Structure 1
Amino acid sequence: MSIRKKIADSEAVLNWAARRIASYIRIVNRNTKWQRIGYEELDQLAEQGEPVIVVLWHQRLAQSPYFFPLDKGRICSITSSARAGSMVGRVQKLFGMDTIAMASKHKSNVAVSREVFGKIKKGISIGIAADGPRGPERVLSTVPLVWARTSGKRIFGITYSAQYGSEAGTWDRLLMPRPWRNKGVFLCREWTETVPRKASEEQIEELRQSLEQHMNDITAEADRMVGREPWSPEA
């Protein structure tokens, strides 16, 4: 193993990096004037111990530790088992979130789903970036729909935007907010479609497109609220 790989895989180095990223997220949150819109129903469900499925876009992961009312309930974030996804999980744990790594060569999707449903039975909500971990950008997977169909739990789309920030040169164009004198919005809105227990493949695809559009709509709305140009697939 090369020295570079040993350093990259070092627990001490990974934990140090996670703390630095968490510090940036806290600074952004502290120095931004936030609006929190549409959270009334989710807050009430969290206080009642009623779990939900939270969907977000990978592009808006940077402020994800503040998406869910952690003072009212628990949430488990689904992350990738790859190095970048593992780092996301480390950071989110520093904010008090549970995490589960998606399937790797050591763990099947069935095993992950069992863990997810186990969390839901304990009253823990589930959060997932539905176009992750590698994209395509803003192409929603059917995973949250399958979990909603099996568990019967409600789906909430959550996003954020900030007036000042830049997009990283990554596949998801990750939004990195400026950490001072900023204005931002957290926007939460339930997706109100029902996923039938015996939905056909055609129904699942229609619902997938509906949820994908829901996520794009609320993200564009959040962008407009802070004066950002909404996302475009051609950009």
Structure 2
Amino acid sequence: MTVVIGNKGAGMSLRKKLADSETVLNWAARRIASYIRMVHRNTRWQRIGYEELDRLAAAGEPVIVVLWHQRLAQSPYFFPLDKGRICSITSAARAGSMVGRVQKLFGMDTIAMSSHKRHVALSREVLGLMKQGISIGIAADGPRGPERVSSTVPLVWARTSGKRVFGITYSVRHGRELGSWDRLLLPRPWRNEGVFLCREWTDQVPRKASDEEFERLRQSLERHMNEITAEADRMVGRTPWSAST
């Protein structure tokens, strides 16, 4: 007698259909957005270093905003959306697509960066948005890492556009790091204290920088992001990240 206890192929197919369902994905995005709003509402925040970014956004002057992937959980509040528009660059993969869905619920624009889209085409699209006065946001170590190793993409866009680059991060007193590659910081959604920290990266990117100069600038941006993130962590009593951990 043969007993069929399940059809593994059918189960996999059902899970895939659910994972690709627009209804399911939109429902999940709304739940995540609700959590982000609850965190923001129930946390006592400090907002530090935003004076110049606020002024530029209100004047319609686009900038390039850089963050670490680990600090994406409060990214909808990184930029002054009441003063200007920003388009975030996300991955076309499932997780990145969800980030984009969530950010759209907060009024952000997004562009999905797929492996099939050539960097030249993406850069052309990004530069076109900046010409319209729309700022660009990107996780410099995304979408797959390594953790806190900056890509050269923000430098390429800064060199081509001539726009200013601002590093933005956040930290909270109570939160935990997930076991993902980026160790995503997940804040406690009640009785919390947090800080948003914004600081301009002021190095100039020459149009004809050598490979050695470009690498030096990449390391400078990476160091800038690590320094402001460590500063934000110290402000709320968290132990700053180190490359050895």
Shorter-chain TM-score: which interval?
A: over 0.9
SS across alignment from 1:63: helix
Contact 1:62 1:176 in 2 (8 A): yes
Residue 72 of structure 1 is matched in structure 2 by 83
Contact 1:74 1:97 in 2 (8 A): yes
| Of 178, 185, 192, the match for 1:168 | 178
- Residue 69 (structure 2) pairs with residue 58 (structure 1): yes
**Structure 2 stretches of 5 or more lacking a match?**
1-11
| Of 44, 47, 52, the match for 2:58 | 47
Tell me by how many angstroms 1:40 deviates: 0.1
SS across alignment from 2:89: strand
Give, as a single letter, the amino acid of the residue that structure 1 aligns with 2:164: R
TM-score (norm 1): 0.98
TM-score (norm 2): 0.94
State the Cα deviation string for residues 127-166 of structure 1 (Å, max 9, x = none): 0000000000000000000000000000000000000000
SS across alignment from 1:127: strand
Residue 38 of structure 2 is matched in structure 1 by 27
Hey, which bits of structure 1, 4+ residues long, moved more than 2 A? Answer: none
SS across alignment from 2:38: helix
Residue 134 of structure 2 is matched in structure 1 by 124
Residue 204 of structure 2 is matched in structure 1 by 194
CA distance in 2, matches of 1:17, 1:103: 22
| Of 86, 96, 104, the match for 2:97 | 86
Tell me by how many angstroms 1:109 deviates: 1.6
Residue 228 of structure 1 is matched in structure 2 by 238
CA distance in 2, matches of 1:110, 1:29: 37
| Of 124, 128, 137, the match for 2:147 | 137
Larger radius of gyration between Structure 1 and Structure 2: 2
Tell me by how many angstroms 1:114 deviates: 1.1
Tell me by how many angstroms 1:5 deviates: 0.3
State the Cα deviation string for residues 47-89 of structure 1 (Å, max 9, x = none): 0000000000000000000000000000000000100000000
Give, as a single letter, the amino acid of the residue that structure 1 aligns with 2:171: S
Give, as a single letter, the amino acid of the residue that structure 2 aligns with 1:148: A
Tell me by how many angstroms 1:110 deviates: 1.5
The number of residues matched between the two structures is 234
Contact 2:140 2:153 in 1 (8 A): yes
SS across alignment from 1:24: helix
CA distance in 1, matches of 2:42, 2:243: 30
Give, as a single letter, the amino acid of the residue that structure 2 aligns with 1:118: G
Residue 158 of structure 1 is matched in structure 2 by 168
**Structure 1 stretches of 5 or more lacking a match?**
none
Give, as a single letter, the amino acid of the residue that structure 1 aligns with 2:55: Q
Contact 1:52 1:155 in 2 (8 A): yes
- Residue 220 (structure 2) pairs with residue 210 (structure 1): yes
Contact 1:103 1:109 in 2 (8 A): no
| Of 155, 159, 163, the match for 1:149 | 159
Give, as a single letter, the amino acid of the residue that structure 1 aligns with 2:34: S
**Fraction of identical pairs, as percent:** 82
